[in-house]
Amino acid sequence: MEESAEGTAMQPDAATDAEQVDTLRKEVQELRSSLEAEMKRSRESLEMAKRIQADFDNYKKRTAREREETFKCANDKIVCEMLNILDDLERALSADVGEEQLRRGLSQVHTNLRSLLKGYGLREIPAETFDPEYHEAFGVGEGEDGQILEVYQKGYCLGPRVIRHSKVKVGKNLE
């Protein structure tokens, strides 16, 4: 009976081992399925990231082209408007008029050019008190500290940006 007791005792152990092997196989299969699903999601995410990167690169290229085209169109417009001033200057040069009439004509062309540029947002930088943001000191002379004594070249702003600093002589109290 011992044998049968041992034999019976072995069978449950063998059955338990077989159950454990089956359980482990199922777990391995589930883990493989889970791994495959995660790998698939990972590939899909990588592909999506690549598409997004490509879309962003295309967006940057497109906006750069559009910005360039906008600048070209803006330049075309201002050049066309300046052609009228060029025509006025050519007429003034070819006109057979006296000095005073020529001076008045050139003054009118100057006024027209200033008006055109002002329409595009150009403004002259005032030259009263020295400000390094707007002025470039080219010389120093005796006078009130920080006071602009002489303007060598006018400066201009286009909208909020300085496009040319004023070149000035600045006063300094030398006492």
Co-location of 147 and 173 in the same domain: yes
Distance separating alpha carbons of residues 105 and 101, to the nearest angstrom = 6
What's the domain range around 130?
123-175
Co-location of 92 and 173 in the same domain: no
pLDDT at site 20: 92
Q: How many domains does the chain have?
A: 2
pLDDT digits (tens, 9 = 90+) for 31-74: 999 999 999 999 999 999 999 999 999 999 999 999 999 888 88
Assigned token pair, 158: 């286009």
pLDDT at site 11: 61
What is the residue-wise DSSP string for the chain? Answer: -HHHHHHHHHHHHHHHHHHHHHHHHHHHHHHHHHHHHHHHHHHHHHHHHHHHHHHHHHHHHHHHHHHHHHHHHHHHHHHHHHHHHHHHHHHHHH----HHHHHHHHHHHHHHHHHHHHHTTEEEPP-SB--TTTEEEEEEEESSTTBEEEEEE--EEETTEEEEPEEEEEEE---
The CA-CA-CA angle for residues 13, 15, 21, to 5°, reads: 105
pLDDT at site 12: 63
pLDDT, one tens digit for every residue, the chain (175 residues): 344 444 444 466 777 888 999 999 999 999 999 999 999 999 999 999 999 999 999 999 999 999 999 888 888 888 888 999 999 999 888 888 888 998 998 999 999 999 999 999 999 999 999 999 999 999 999 988 999 999 999 999 999 999 999 999 999 887 6
Co-location of 17 and 102 in the same domain: yes
Co-location of 34 and 101 in the same domain: yes
CA 80 to chain centre: 28
pTM over the 0.75 mark = no
Co-location of 30 and 92 in the same domain: yes
Residue 134 in contact with residue 125, Cβ under 8 Å? yes
Co-location of 109 and 162 in the same domain: no
Could you say which of 79, 104, 120 is where a domain stops? 120
Co-location of 107 and 96 in the same domain: yes
